[in-house]
Every structure is written in C-alpha cells, then in structure tokens.
Structure 1
Amino acid sequence: MSVDVSRAARRLRKHLPDAFRLPTEADPAPEPRHLAVVCFWAAGLGLGGMAVALRAFVGLVGPSRGWYAPTVITIGLVGLACTIAAFASVHHRRLPLALLGAASVSLVAGWIVTGL
C-alpha cells in the first residue's frame, strides 16, 4: 500500500506545479468564453458566500456552540481556496470548472450549516 501512496504522491508532485502556475507570455490566452464562465461562476459564488457569511455572523452572535465557528470558517476557507485555485488554473480546460464545482459544494454546505 505504501508503494501505491508514494507513486501517487510522486505523480501529484509532478503535475501540481503545471496545473497551478501563472501563465507566461508563451502560453496561449484562455478562450474568452471559458474565462467569462469562470468569472460569472466565481461572481455567483461570491454573492452566495456573502449571504452565507451574513447568516454565519448572525449564528455567531446567538447562543454559543463550540463546533459552529471552526466549522463555518473551515467551509468558507475551502470554498475560497477552490475559487482562487480556479483562477490560478484558468489556462486549463476542465480544472477550473471542477474547482468551482467543489467551491459550489462548499457553498451549499455552508448554507446548510448556517441554517441550523
């Protein structure tokens, strides 16, 4: 099992720097339609995230629950990291969309947790 883990770790170390790097002048520009989709999706996530943040603030002011603040903060940071990573990988075809999908799942999780 450790052989499979080390092989996967090596493969990940090899491909991650290529996936998340700033494009150079030699790289082709992303397709305008693709960039627009990423921007609009991220904008929607930002608006939804503001709604979740408002609900989280109201939840933090209310009765104290020990698990609430760390959970809400973790969910928010995961969503934010996925959205930032989507922009960092915008020169790829599918990776930004997968990352924005993960951020959307994080947003839904935040909406559910803050509704409790």
Structure 2
Amino acid sequence: DGSEVTTTNVGEAMDSGDKGMNKAMSAALKYALLHMFLIPTAEEKDPDASTPPETRPKTIAEIADSLDPQNDGVLKEALSQIVAATDKDSLMNVWKSFSEQLQTNPMFTQCMSCRRKELGL
C-alpha cells in the first residue's frame, strides 16, 4: 500500500578500541526496532545503564611503587628520583645517573618527559 515508517534514534557505546562507532550504530538500530515495533524482551532493561569507573593514568610515584625491587630495582630508584626532582638541574642529574642503563626503557623516558612537563621545562 506504499506506507512507510521512519525513525531516528541515537546510539552510544563505550569502547577503548576502534569498534565504538559500530557498537553505537548497532545499539541505535536495536533500540529503534524494539521501540518502533514494541518488541518485548526478557533481557536486562539496558546493559549500558551503568557507567564503568573512570580510569586515570598512574602517577610516576604509583608506577614506582608498583615495581618489584628484585626485578626492577634500578628503574624503581630512577622513578623515585624523578618524582623527587624539583627543578631542571635535579632532573638532569637523574637523567645523567640512569640514562646509560635505562635509555632504551620506555617507562623511564616517558616518566622523564612527563616530569619535565610537570615542572614546566
């Protein structure tokens, strides 16, 4: 008979990878069909109703505390000294002290860079 039904729905999804858009589109279609055609379901009201806790990057001190002194003793000491550095000279001293041993360690170089930014250098 030429009749048609048009609907618009918004989908939202939480994904730390590259599938967030696909999940959002699937959710939008699912809920549009469920609501438009009044399809009853026995499933949970909305599995996305609760929000996962927010994650935050660890501080350099938290990273240092989480390291095992037996296996990562040098890195643990270096990170502790990075945290204690209060100016450009003290941070440079940490770099000079540990760069030979840890220059290829990404954790060391990232923490040095973060601390440099924190100090406004």
TM interval, short-chain normalised: under 0.3
More helix per residue: 1 or 2? 1
* TM-score normalised over the length of structure 2: 0.26
Higher relative contact order, chain-length normalized (CA < 8 Å, sep 6+): 1
TM-score by length of 1: 0.27
Larger radius of gyration: 2
